[in-house]
Amino acid sequence: MSVATPQLEISKVAAELKSKLSSGTLLRENEPLSRRTTLRVGGPADLFIEPTSESDLARILEISKKHGMPVFMLGRGSNLLVRDGGIRGVVISLGHAIFSEIKIEGERVRCGAGARLRSVAFEAKKASLTSLEFMEGIPGNIGGALRMNAGAMGSSMFQVLESVRFMDRSGQVQEKLATEIPVEYRNCPLFRDHIALSAILLGKTASRALIDEKMNECSQKRWNSQPAAPSAGCIFKNPVTIPAGKLVQELGLKGTRIGGAVISDVHGNFIVNDANATAHDILSLIELVKDKARTARGIDLHTEVQIVGDDLE
């Protein structure tokens, strides 16, 4: 658990940021993160900021570093579990429209880190570009998808990525080809301490009929196999020997409830917020599944969902 920042210090940093950032930049103190995660749980951020430019983003990093305040980058809040005590320091979201632009350039799709994956898929479709249909149902944005190497339906981000622009924590901007960036299953280590700004994705020209067919197939698979209730997507990484959802089902844990959190009856690798769940409820379910998998099958499960923040004192 991190040390709480005194409110006076938070307000002091907030005042300095307001004096040095553009007027359109959104800055709020003690912003509830339950409003900004797909699980609808999570305590407050000390400071929540949506910059209106890359230069404002660099200033936020500079001022935060000067005051020793940690910085956390928040995407659209999918694949994320924020503990009930919230996140100390500064939480930055690239939610402003300037970071969400999508431009079609031949068979390339240039998009900001804040662009929704669903929007990218549909803009590609309008331009008769295939290969990006898998993004249609992933509830995240480009920046978060790059950090997690998000994927679905047999495709993933780095399979369609040509290059990415990013900022380091000192505010310097770089650009790299996808082939220059080490990547793992559901993880890109570069973005643990660098911030994605924009990316170029590669599509392929195809008929609208073929793209419609692919997109409808992705959509139907998703709706038929995933719960509609608030969730963070898949909770566990798949073990080598068995898909995590199948393992949970074989262990007889589907439908197990703690408080307002329930292991989905639709897909065993989803925990849903059924009735005002807390992060503690969800974390308790995660530990229950891990313990059962270890004792009954000798399998150590590892979470795919990112767990951040502090517990309540």
Q: What is the DSSP string of 205-242?
A: E--HHHHHHHHHHHHHHHHHHS-SSSB-S--BPPPSSS
Tokens for 117? 């994956």
* Main-chain phi, psi angles of 25, to 5 degrees: -70, 130
CA distance 194 to 150: 17
According to DSSP, the residues that pair with 151 across neighbouring strands are 156
**pLDDT digits 0-9 by tens, 114-162:** 999 999 999 999 999 999 998 887 878 999 899 988 877 778 899 999 9
Q: pTM value?
A: 0.88
Per the CB < 8 A criterion, the answer to whether 158 and 178 are in contact is yes
Q: Name all contacts of 24-29 with Cβ < 8 Å and 24+ positions apart.
A: 24/52, 24/96, 25/49, 25/50, 25/51, 25/52, 25/56, 25/96, 26/50, 26/96
Q: What is the pLDDT of residue 76?
A: 87
Q: What is the pLDDT of residue 84?
A: 97
Q: What is the pLDDT of residue 1?
A: 46
**Segments of the chain with pLDDT less than 50:** 1
Give the torsion sign (CA, 170, 66, 53, 117).
positive
Q: What is the pLDDT of residue 239?
A: 93
Displacement of CA 151 from its chain's centroid (Å): 12
Q: What is the pLDDT of residue 3?
A: 56
